[in-house]
């Protein structure tokens, strides 16, 4: 389940300036579709429409055949998981922070999510940065480690659909590779829409959609797009 369809979607924030002009694509169940394109192309607008921060001007967006205008924002947030760029951690163990994704999860499930996100080594530690004294168990987490905690949380929560926005990641290559591995785990067999800046981060996508000035200018698999330059 979890098929997303954009059908001839048009959208503008201001009446005199079209932002999306006839966008159509489908994210089949369990597949990963990536949207790439230069800054200002309309990528984030697509994710805002999917969460109904705005409604489409023309055309429609459906999930499993249902027009999302008939679905509440709260229900969309339940169905579509998002790994935030900037993760808020609670003043408790990393394991607790992972469990926040689904409080009913078992110990084993928390450990498995941590393993997939490659943070098994420190789940019993406490994130530093709060006023309280954490002593020996305290651990200062890097941005990349925090993001992997967020990924573990999302793995545990297991939403049917995943929306990944890679736009603002400013990470070093090593960290980026670790995060990529973790994200590949969370999107495995899950309907996933990725918003990406560069083609290099979406090599494994089932389809890449290239967006420019609100229109799809190219689409295909990574290798096809490279062949055409
Ligand atoms: P991308 O994610 O590809 O960088 P966006 O979807 O954020 O592009 O933005 C597409 C266009 O819409 C840009 O020209 C941007 O300036 C404009 N835009 C974004 N948000 C708003 C807004 N709230 N009001 C008016 N224009 C906006
Ligand atoms: P939901 O209410 O379905 O969890 P949200 O949009 O509120 O969806 O949250 C998106 C993700 O951000 C959630 O998966 C959750 O793990 C995380 N999150 C939400 N609120 C907080 C918070 N106060 N602190 C840390 N993480 C949060």
Residue 115, C-beta contacts closer than 8 angstroms, at least 6 positions apart: none
pLDDT, position 33? 96
pLDDT, position 182? 81
Ligand 1, pocket-test mutation among 41, 164, 169, 216, most atoms within 8 A of CB: 41
- Residues of the chain whose pLDDT is less than 50? 168
Ligand 2, pocket-test mutation among 84, 161, 162, most atoms within 8 A of CB: 84
Helix axis angle for 107-116 and 173-187, nearest 10°, is 130
Integer angstrom CA distances of residue 199 from 61, 168, 186, 203: 25, 15, 19, 7
pLDDT, position 18? 97
Q: What's the predicted TM-score (pTM) here?
A: 0.81
How far is 107 from 45, CA to CA, in rounded Å?
38
* 5-36 pLDDT per residue, tens: 999 999 999 999 999 999 999 999 999 999 99
pLDDT, position 228? 63
Give me 159's structure tokens. 């939403």
Q: Which ligand minimizes its atom distance to the CA of 102?
A: 2
For residue 211, report the distance from its CA to the centre of ligand 2, in Å: 29
| CB of 214 sitting under 6 A from ligand 1 | no
Task: Please state whether 106 falls in left (phi above 0), alpha (psi between -120 and 50) or beta.
Answer: beta
For residue 188, report the distance from its CA to the centre of ligand 2, in Å: 21
Q: Is 183 exposed, middle or buried (0-12, 13-18, 19+ CB in 10 A)?
A: buried
Ligand 1, pocket-test mutation among 11, 23, 44, 53, most atoms within 8 A of CB: 44
pLDDT, position 90? 92
pLDDT, position 57? 97
């Amino acid at each position: 389940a979890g098929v997303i369809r954009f059908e001839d979607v048009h959208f503008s924030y201001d009446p005199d300036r079209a932002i999306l002009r006839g966008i159509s694509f489908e994210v089949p169940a369990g597949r990963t579709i990536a949207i790439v394109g230069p800054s200002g192309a309309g990528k984030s607008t697509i994710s805002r429409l999917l969460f109904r921060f705005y409604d489409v001007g023309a055309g429609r967006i459906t999930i499993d055949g249902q027009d999302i205008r008939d679905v509440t924002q709260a229900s969309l947030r339940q169905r579509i998981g998002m790994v935030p760029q900037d993760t808020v951690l609670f003043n408790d163990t990393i394991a607790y922070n992972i469990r926040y994704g689904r409080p009913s999860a078992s110990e084993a499930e928390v450990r498995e999510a941590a393993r997939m996100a490659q943070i098994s080594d420190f789940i019993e530690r406490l994130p530093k940065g709060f006023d309280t004294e954490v002593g020996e168990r305290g651990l200062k987490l890097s941005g990349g480690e925090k993001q992997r905690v967020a990924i573990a949380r999302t793995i545990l929560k297991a939403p049917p659909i995943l929306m990944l926005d890679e736009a603002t990641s400013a990470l070093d290559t090593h960290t980026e590779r670790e995060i990529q591995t973790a994200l590949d785990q969370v999107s495995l067999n899950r309907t996933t829409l990725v918003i990406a800046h560069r083609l290099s981060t979406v090599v494994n996508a089932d389809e890449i959609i290239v967006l420019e000035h609100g229109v799809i200018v190219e689409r295909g698999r990574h290798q096809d797009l490279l062949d055409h330059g």
